[in-house]
């Protein structure tokens, strides 16, 4: 991308703590509105996410704030994951207040993100092959152009899928020998491990740490009573981590529940378990007052999930691109 001059008056500074969260949420939501993204952030969830430190993400290390004349106009954010295709991916992202676009702030933050991630990588020992990673939504044409100019290429595509109503939900029997049991705090670690194991043959990367588990559980929108987990004796066969985000629903003007993670462990696949759990999840979300449901899926999911979801009434609502760039560029 070449050298980029820092815009006159732009100050990049470290994240200072919870006091910065409202401005980060404000900038991210302004960008979401301008780019027609089907999501919104809120202070409570972001505060919980930033509160815990892990090897993968530490807000005081991995968030940079951009100011103009003392006003927060943008931020950069970074994390590190080991991927299922044998890479150590240094992920970077960020948002710019739409009122401050076209001034080089996004390019400046991208280069700053890369510099900081290189410094982090070179301080590590024994790392796998290293790549930069990022992502953009289909309506974010400016971000996609920036990625291309900076030497990133599309690596994978993902879909958000929506079932627009929760009427006429199919009744699907559970596979023989499996039963759904309630999940309390004592079982969350077992569900977490089963979920991660189920996605080891899928593209991407996951932070398996205890800190990430606590980050996940500490989200205000987390509700264990929405989790549907199937057991075969004492073994977890599969499950769906359902969630309802009241802040996002209010901001977007709908009543939507999310099937945030749909997983089946390998030895229980091809028995109709996922379909049975999806049907029960839709009914559960309907009973909680939701009128639509959504989930995310890898466009090249190896287990045929896309066809399964379409068969359960979901359609593609939004597309996103995962980008990668070798460290050498």
> Per-residue pLDDT averaged across 150-158, rounded?
97
> Per-residue pLDDT averaged across 153-176, rounded?
96
Please state, in angstroms and rounded to a whole number, the distance separating the CA atoms of residues 177 and 121.
48
Q: Is the pLDDT of residue 22 over 90?
A: yes
Please state, in angstroms and rounded to a whole number, the distance separating the CA atoms of residues 28 and 40.
8
For position 55, what pLDDT does the model report?
Answer: 87
Q: Is the pLDDT of residue 64 over 80?
A: yes
β-strand pairing of 153-163 with 256-264: unpaired
> Per-residue pLDDT averaged across 228-246, rounded?
97
HEC string of the chain?
Answer: CCCCCCCCCEEEEECCCHHHHHHHHHHHHHHHHHCCCCCCCCHHHHHHHHHCCCCCCCHHHHEEEEEECCEEEEEEEEEEEEECCCEEEEEEEEEECHHHCCCCHHHHHHHHHHHHHHHHHHHCCCCCEEEEEEEEECCCHHHHHHHHHCCCEEEEEEEEEEECCCCCCCCCCCCCCCEEECCCHHHHHHHHHHHHHHCCCCCCECCCCHHHHHHHHCCCCCCHHHEEEEEECCEEEEEEEEEECHHHHHHHCCCEEEEEEEEECHHHCCCCHHHHHHHHHHHHHHHCCCCEEEEEEECCCCCCHHHHHHHCCCEEEEEEEEEEEECCC
Which residues 6+ apart lie within 8 Å of 188 measured at CB?
A: 213, 217, 224
Asked if residue 319 lies in contact with residue 298, where contact means CB atoms within 8 angstroms, the answer is no
For position 133, what pLDDT does the model report?
Answer: 97
Angstrom CA distances, 165 to 246, 251, 286, 318, stand at 18, 19, 9, 17
Please report how many Cα atoms fall inside a 13 Å half-sphere around the Cα of residue 290, on the Cβ side.
27
Give the residue from 87, 86, 65, 68 showing the smallest Cα distance to 76. Answer: 65
For position 212, what pLDDT does the model report?
Answer: 83
Rounded to two decimals, what is the model's pTM?
Answer: 0.92
Confidence of residue 6 (pLDDT cuts 50, 70, 90): confident
More confident residue, 219 or 141: 141
Mean pLDDT of the chain: 93
**What sign does the CA torsion over 237, 292, 221, 19 have?**
positive
For position 302, what pLDDT does the model report?
Answer: 66
């Amino acid at each position: 991308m070449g050298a980029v001059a820092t815009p006159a008056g732009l100050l990049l500074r470290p994240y200072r703590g919870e006091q910065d969260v409202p401005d980060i949420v404000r900038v991210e939501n302004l960008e979401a509105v301008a780019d027609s993204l089907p999501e919104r952030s809120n202070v409570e969830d972001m505060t919980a996410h930033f509160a815990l430190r892990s090897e993968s993400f530490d807000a005081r290390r991995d968030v940079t704030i951009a100011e103009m004349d003392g006003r927060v106009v943008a931020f950069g954010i970074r994390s590190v994951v080991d991927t299922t295709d044998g890479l150590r991916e240094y992920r970077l992202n960020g948002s710019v207040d739409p009122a401050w676009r076209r001034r080089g702030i996004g390019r400046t933050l991208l280069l700053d993100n890369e510099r900081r991630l290189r410094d982090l990588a070179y301080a590590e020992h024994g790392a796998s092959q290293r790549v930069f990673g990022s992502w953009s939504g289909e309506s974010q044409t400016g971000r996609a152009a920036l990625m291309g100019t900076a030497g990133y290429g599309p690596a994978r595509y993902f879909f958000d899928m929506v079932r627009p109503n929760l009427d006429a939900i199919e009744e699907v029997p559970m596979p023989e020998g499996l039963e759904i049991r309630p999940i309390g705090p004592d079982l969350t670690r077992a569900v977490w491990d089963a979920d991660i194991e189920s996605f080891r043959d899928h593209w991407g990367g996951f932070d398996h740490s205890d800190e990430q588990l606590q980050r996940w559980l500490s989200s205000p929108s987390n509700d264990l009573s929405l989790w549907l987990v199937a057991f075969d004796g004492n073994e977890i066969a599969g499950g769906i981590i359902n969630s309802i985000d009241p802040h996002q629903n209010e901001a977007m003007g709908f009543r939507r529940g999310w099937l945030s993670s749909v997983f089946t462990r390998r030895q229980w696949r091809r028995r109709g378990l996922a379909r049975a759990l999806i049907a029960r999840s839709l009914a559960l979300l309907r009973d909680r007052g939701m009128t639509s449901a959504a989930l995310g899926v890898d466009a090249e999911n190896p287990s045929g999930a896309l066809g399964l979801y379409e068969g359960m009434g979901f359609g593609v609502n939004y597309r996103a691109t995962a980008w990668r760039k070798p460290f050498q560029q």
